[in-house]
Amino acid sequence: MKVVNSEHETLAFRIAAILLKLNLGDALSRQALADEFKVSERTIYRDLNRLGGIVNKLEDGRYQIATAYRGKLTSKDLESFARLTGVDQLFPNASQRFLVALLDTLTHSSYLIKGHHYEEPKPHDSQFIQLDEAYSGNVFASSATPVNHAP
């Protein structure tokens, strides 16, 4: 499997989510997108520029997909985009339906691969210790009973 740089992964997911929102007909503001993705407004500006001629800037400063493209992106288009960005490598058995659900802003967070800084590991320390002990000592680990290997 191809290893994808996490910065590029994040960019691909962000652009895919923006593209899906635009394809649904939403008019998007840079500030709202920056808040949603926890990036700077300048980053969103660059993302929108990457989408080139398919995005129009409205008079109020929001962005909308060009009329010629509105509603015309199919699941095959999204699948091609997934291949282009390497997202298909992360989910090799993914169907078109899965990729559409993955890119859907209402459901993608359950599949989103996040870096280590998104979750504090402290509450899970005992589980990691238990798994480590089970793996290194071939000991059966149960979530109901803590493993204790006191000397």
Contacts for 133 with CB less than 8 Å, ≥ 6 apart? 139, 141, 147, 149
23-42 CB burial, b ≥16 within 10 A, e <16? beeeebebeebbeebebeee
Contacts for 95 with CB less than 8 Å, ≥ 6 apart? none
The first and second tokens of residue 137, run together, are 């000592």
Whole-structure pTM value? 0.47
Q: What pLDDT, in 10s, does the model give residues 59-91?
A: 999 999 887 776 666 667 766 766 776 666 666
Q: What pLDDT, in 10s, does the model give residues 8-54?
A: 677 888 888 888 888 877 899 999 999 999 999 999 999 998 888 88
Domain boundaries, the chain: 6-116, 120-151
CATH number of 6-116: 1.10.10
Alpha-carbon gap, residue 149 to 20, rounded angstroms: 51
